[in-house]
Amino acid sequence: MDPITLLIGAGIFVGGMLVGRVTRRAKTAIEKTPRPICTCTHGFGSHENGNRCQSSVKRAISWDEWQNPLHFDWQPCACTSYDGPEPLPRSWVPLELPKEL
């Protein structure tokens, strides 16, 4: 085999390994960040100020003889209050500092 082809192939292989490693690290970092998600799997925005969930859920309404769902319907989520992690507080910061300090 030609040595240049061998070097190019090895470079592609090593480059692919490095890209995979970086991607894997980024994915685990994203998974570790806490997300404000309720146990009903809907986000904090679906619960107005921690109240009843405003989203819909896909539920089976008919099944075949092997208990596999055949038809689905969208129904309101039964979650009564948000029970996920508390989101970060919101704050307002002026863009410019006042000149008379």
pLDDT tens sequence across 48-67 = 776 888 889 999 999 999 99
pTM above 0.85, yes or no: no
Rg from Cα positions in the chain: 25
Higher pLDDT, 17 or 72: 72
List the structure tokens of 17. 């390994």
Q: At 39, is the pLDDT very low, low, confident or very high (cuts 50, 70, 90)?
A: confident
Is residue 34 over pLDDT 70? Answer: no
Please check whether residue 86 is in contact with residue 37, taking contact to mean a CB–CB distance below 8 angstroms.
Answer: no
Nearest to 58 by CA among 43, 44, 46, 69: 69
Confidence at residue 69, expressed as pLDDT on a 0 to 100 scale: 92
The CA distance from 79 to 53, in Å, is 6
